[in-house]
Amino acid sequence: MSTSRKTVVADHLREALTRGDYQPGDRLPGEEELAERFDVSRATARLGMRILQDEGRITIQAGRGAFAADHQPIIHLATPISGGSDSERFEAGYQPHLREAGYYQVDEKIKVSLDTMRPKVAKRLRFDADENGPYGGLVVIRSCDRFVEGGLWQSQVTYFPFSIANNTALMSPERLDEGVSAVLRELGYREDWNWDIVGARMPSQDEADSFGLGPGIPLLVQERVAHEGERPLRFTETIMPANRHQLLYSGGDAPEELLLMASDVNIFER
């Protein structure tokens, strides 16, 4: 069986799905029809279909055939809304939204550690090795992995300068019900502004295994640095499989019901 031949089958079906030839739930041509159309064996046609199954583009049901997947990516609220909650408030915002989408086994695991700043973190937090005293090079790392139906769904890591987080609730491996920003306010720090960068990259093999990703599915990476004036208070990196998430940004005085209003928006619609 030739890898190139199964790729031809996969590419044809992928292009047809992208054009909108098949709507969510539509049945795709079977193995026998694809084998005849592309002059390959049924086994090769089956492998081509499995490529798209691994990508999340189709579902294969034993005895029934293959169907165009009904993509329902979850809205990730990338910016806080007035009176509402951001993506870091698990119980108040993220968890209920997942349950409304039909996911009921939703959990969150939090770990806290202390380490020296890696170059990437030092760059985001604009750390100078000659500043901030003997503990300036230390960073408190608050890791949060979110699981849906037992599988890793989203991974979020926040880095705080030790001088800010030491001996505070930020070092406790407990859920912060009011969110990180509220804890910082209680400590006397005000998040005046922040900047985000969002990009996509292919996962490492370890990441693909952790998220249960098939070939061809990239990760969305959202980086945020929050400042008080010119001083960076924290750096947060959120990693999300691109086929399961879509980021929602708002501007101006967005209403509290924005998340509900946008809940049926789907970038896979054509």
Which of 68, 94, 119 is at the close of a domain? 68
* 224 bridge partner residues: 196, 236
pLDDT band at residue 259, thresholds of 50, 70 and 90?
low
Residues 114 and 157 in one domain: yes
Q: Tell me if residue 44 falls in helix, strand or coil.
A: helix
Q: For residue range 102-157, list pLDDT tens digits in order.
A: 777 888 899 999 999 899 999 999 876 545 555 558 999 999 999 988 889 999 99
Structure-token pair, residue 8: 């031809």
Q: Which residues contact 5 (CB under 8 A, 6 or more apart)?
A: 38, 40, 44, 48
User: Is residue 45 situated within a structural domain?
Assistant: yes
Residues 83 and 56 in one domain: no
Residues 84 and 12 in one domain: no
pTM score, two decimals? Answer: 0.76
Domain membership of residue 177 as a residue range: 74-261
Closest CA to 1 of 32, 35, 40, 29: 40
Residues 48 and 115 in one domain: no
Q: How many domains does the chain have?
A: 2
Residues 84 and 54 in one domain: no
Which of 16, 48, 68 is at the close of a domain? 68
CATH number at residue 114: 3.40.1410.10
User: Is residue 270 situated within a structural domain?
Assistant: no
Closest CA to 236 of 125, 130, 152, 153: 125
Residues 107 and 51 in one domain: no
Structure-token pair, residue 28: 């795709």
User: Is residue 269 situated within a structural domain?
Assistant: no
Residues 132 and 222 in one domain: yes
Q: For residue range 171-223, list pLDDT tens digits in order.
A: 999 888 778 888 999 999 999 999 999 999 999 999 999 998 876 789 999 99
Q: For residue range 52-78, list pLDDT tens digits in order.
A: 887 777 878 778 888 887 666 777 777
Which of 15, 46, 68 is at the close of a domain? 68
Residues 143 and 25 in one domain: no
